[in-house]
Amino acid sequence: MRALVIDDELPAREELLWLLEQCPQISAADQAESAKAALERLESGPPVDVVFLDIDMPGLNGVRLAQLWRDRLGDEAPILIFVTAYDAHAVDAFALDAADYLLKPVRLSRLQHAIERAERRQHQGVAAPTSEASEAHETAPAPATSPLTRISVEEHGSYRVIPVDDIVWIEADEGFATVHTEKGGYLTDFSLKFLEENLPADHFFRSHRSFIVRLSAISVIAPTGAGTYRLLLGDESTGVPLARSRAPELKARIPWSAHAIEE
């Protein structure tokens, strides 16, 4: 079995990798230090059979990361084993069809037992996604019946509610959307497509494949050459790109003077 260890702390990763070397069922083991690195590895690297996932990580925690890849990969998702210093998330872990839940510090005998459970799961075939995951996968792309008025983002183990009116711009990176307000940025597991479809269309504009901007926040449209522009926001200290293909729609939304610089 090929394994992937996901933990933001290097000593924890090294300890678990050392233990896995002593388990004959594990033929190879890779590591990732963040949710972004883990998704890159799962989506572009060699197939992974079992993932050992920490829960308390910066940005997306392990539970949210597991939910995300269950939604993306469905029954192709690798077998999941949570490894954490706390037992508070055990219910969430097994709701995600985890094969096991290990508490740190991990003992070799307990790790071997978890791998045996994963191996049996592998031989039986990966179970279908839970009904909650399947429902989320089926319904997430569909726009809401009415535009969103607020979203919630994870912050230090709780969820901060952000009124849509507070959003200035949104940037997508590696599938994760970071929502920016005047108070700061918040990493989410929303896709840019979902936000584009569900935010009020008369207030927000998709300026680029990786950016959404609040129309009322645009203060300057600055040419950058080759038919592209940079949209300066608020006090003009922050800017987002405007793709050439999106410029005609912005001109329709915010009419440009005949004296505006054209490329």
pLDDT of 193-228, one tens digit each?
889 989 999 999 999 999 999 999 999 999 998 888
Q: Comparing C-alpha atoms, which of 210, 208, 200, 230 is closest to residue 218?
A: 230
Q: What is the pLDDT of residue 133?
A: 34
CB 226 within 8 Å of CB 244: yes
What distance in Å separates the CA atoms of residue 259 and residue 253, rounded to the nearest whole number? 17
Residue 253 is predicted with a pLDDT of 92
Residue 199 one-letter amino acid: L
CATH, domain range 150-253: 2.40.50.1020
* pLDDT in the model for residue 75: 73
Rounded Cα distance between 192 and 58, Å, is 21
Phi and psi for 108 in degrees, rounded to 5? -60, -45
pTM of the model: 0.54
pLDDT confidence of residue 210:
92
The residue extents of the domains of the chain are 2-137, 150-253
Q: Which class does domain 2-137 fall in? A: alpha beta
CA angle 112, 114, 117 (to 5 degrees): 110
- Stretches where the chain sits below pLDDT 50 are 126-144, 263
